[in-house]
Structure 1
Amino acid sequence: MSVHSALEELARYRARNKRASQEVFEKGTLILQKNGHKKMGDEVWDFLEQLALAAIDVGRLEVADRCLRQLSDKFPQSPRVNCLAGIRLEASEPPETALKYYSDLLEADPTNVAVWKRRISVLRRMGQMEEAISELSQYLDTFYTDIEGWLELADIYACCNQYDYSLQALSHTLLLAPQNPVYALQFAETAYTAGDLPLSLKMFLMVIDMTDGDETECLSESTPLGITVRAWYGVKLCTRRMSRDPQLVTTSASGTSPPRHAAILDELATERLRVAYSSAGKKGDIAQGRGIVFSWVASP
């Protein structure tokens, strides 16, 4: 591969925020070896940061150190470079050392978002979940609109089997991004795990409403794809459990009203999953497990 094509490929990775550490490292070291970075102008700093992260990921710390030296010389005391240096520290030192490093940086600049997030990440990796939750909650009090932060908090709670708290965190993501079906699906699945089936069913149906074709397309003529299929699975799971244990229909910690036509929804979910796994042509990839799916939806 030529230096020019490698530079173009790495630029595309940066534009897409794609990590691809091994590929970035191989292309980046090729550029360094042939001194291609000296012709990049100001773009070289983004390249060096990208390569440093990739080198840390693949364990080539000497390359990361080379990049960091150039970045530190150009941007002394830069919060962004300091955070990158912390990531480098995490790769070779005990987590307590990295935690102390991040604490010192935050004491000097409490608004450094990247460093704050790295500190939370280290706490979680150390298994200090209560401290991580406390730190992340303080962070979100300051930076409420950070959706990634709310998702992280929801994930920590879920890992600790505290699903009600996880739902509370996810509710903030729905407020911040109400049109994102991925967040709605995560909320629905968490509600299912928490045992709030009426709420879970309601949210699965919302995902379907957000993703299942356009308004002019008749439901009977559409084919569920992608996230919509997963939501129909959720509907089927909810209605099946409700039919087996009627008490679950009215059991809702959130106070969600029970579904009026659970049996009809169950039949519709069965039909939609059959259609999804009977698709042909370019839609046929999903049909590979049709035998297992058909058997599952047909079972009582």
Structure 2
Amino acid sequence: MVATALERLATWRSRGTRASEQTVKHGLTVLEDGGLKKLGDEAWNFLEQLTLASLDIGRLDIADECLEQLTEGFPGSPRVECLKGLRIEADNKPIEAIRFYEAALQEDDTNAALWKRKIAVLRSLGSQNVSQAVEELTIYLDTFYTDVEAWIELADVYAELNLYSLSLQALSHVLILASQNPFYVLRFAETAYTAGDIPLAHKMFLRVIDMDEPEGSKSNATKRAWWGVKLTAGRLLSSPNTPSESKTQPPSSDHLRLLDELATERLAESYRSTSVTPQGQGRDVILAWLGGRKR
């Protein structure tokens, strides 16, 4: 049983799979049968894996046992310090967790994991701490500019505050760092639409389609982008002088009409081949609406 448990745990570690309940189940088998000695250097990775899984399901007793061994084996380890912070968070003590992270960062301000946990806790405290979360993210990104996830989080914070122009600025860094990801471009386009910069949104929806075209209209990114093209084309046709904060110039009216027709065609084709609901009513409603929107 220990061999099977070790094999499954190793597989989940290599795949980055959490599987918390099963991890704890198999982890206990390893601990109770003395399997930890068989792991050698991998024992520490196992203990880290089991600690996280135990925190996920509220088995704090197991997490404490693992942390005790990790602290003894790796005193002062940045990864262990992060696990200690998570343990404090598990006790629902956010202020204490923030103080812990601040003290740890004074010792090592290059520990990205600790910094991001501090930011996550600040965000969890709600609107009264959002300005501090923004400040921390900004400082963090000055040091770790290439952290795409942090730029996305900053964009999220600004969007929650209805500061869509600032959200777009954060997402522009995401596009610089990961320009080949159509979902990031789609997110930028949808944020531009929400911000009211319809010409920019239209341009970026078309870019998504250009990037994701090999996947065809059934791709989630492409389908959402075609919806974006249809909505923005309609807005620009009905209001040709729609302002653009980015100074993006929209296509000509003739071009917009062609794009609107093409978007209708591609969306209709996509929805004809699938049912939005098991009975297909959702599909029929959408197809009827698209038919009524033809120009």
Q: TM-score, normalised by structure 2?
A: 0.90
Structure 1 position 252 matched with structure 2 position 244:
yes
Q: 1:46 to 1:160 in 2, by over 3 A?
A: same
Structure 1 position 211 matched with structure 2 position 193:
no
- Kept in 1: contact 2:217–2:267 (CA 8 A): no
Match of 1:217 in 2: none
Alignment of 1:158-197 (within 5 A): 158-197=159-198
> Is there any run of 5+ residues in structure 1 with no aligned partner, and where?
215-221
Matches of 1:149 and 1:81, distance apart in 2? 22
Matched AA of 1:295: A
Matched AA of 2:112: V
Matched AA of 1:200: A
Match of 1:154 in 2: 155
- Kept in 2: contact 1:196–1:252 (CA 8 A): yes
Matches of 1:18 and 1:188, distance apart in 2? 31
Instruction: State, as a whole percentage, how many aligned pairs show the same letter.
Output: 53
What secondary structure sits across from 1:255 in the alignment?
Answer: coil
Q: How far is 1:240 from its partner? A: 2.7
Structure 1 position 293 matched with structure 2 position 281:
no
Match of 1:63 in 2: 62
Report the RMSD for the aligned CA atoms in angstroms. Answer: 1.9
Q: How far is 1:158 from its partner? A: 0.8
Match of 2:34 in 1: 35
Match of 2:125 in 1: 126
What secondary structure sits across from 2:272 in the alignment?
Answer: coil
Matches of 2:144 and 2:284, distance apart in 1? 48
User: Paired residues, what number?
Assistant: 286
Q: 1:244 to 1:142 in 2, by over 3 A?
A: same
Q: 1:44 to 1:296 in 2, by over 3 A?
A: farther
Q: How far is 1:21 from its partner? A: 2.4
Matches of 2:2 and 2:185, distance apart in 1? 43
> Is there any run of 5+ residues in structure 2 with no aligned partner, and where?
none
Q: How far is 1:5 from its partner? A: 3.4
Match of 1:94 in 2: 93
Q: How far is 1:246 from its partner? A: 3.6
Matches of 2:30 and 2:267, distance apart in 1? 50
Structure 1 position 277 matched with structure 2 position 271:
yes
User: Which deviates more from structure 2 when the two are superposed, residues 98-107 or residues 12-21?
Assistant: 12-21
Q: Deviations over 1:195-214 (max 9, x none)?
A: 11111111111111111118
What secondary structure sits across from 2:214 in the alignment?
Answer: coil
Matched AA of 1:171: S
Structure 1 position 264 matched with structure 2 position 263:
no
User: Which deviates more from structure 2 when the two are superposed, residues 59-68 or residues 10-19?
Assistant: 10-19
Q: How far is 1:264 from its partner? A: 1.1
Q: How far is 1:51 from its partner? A: 1.3
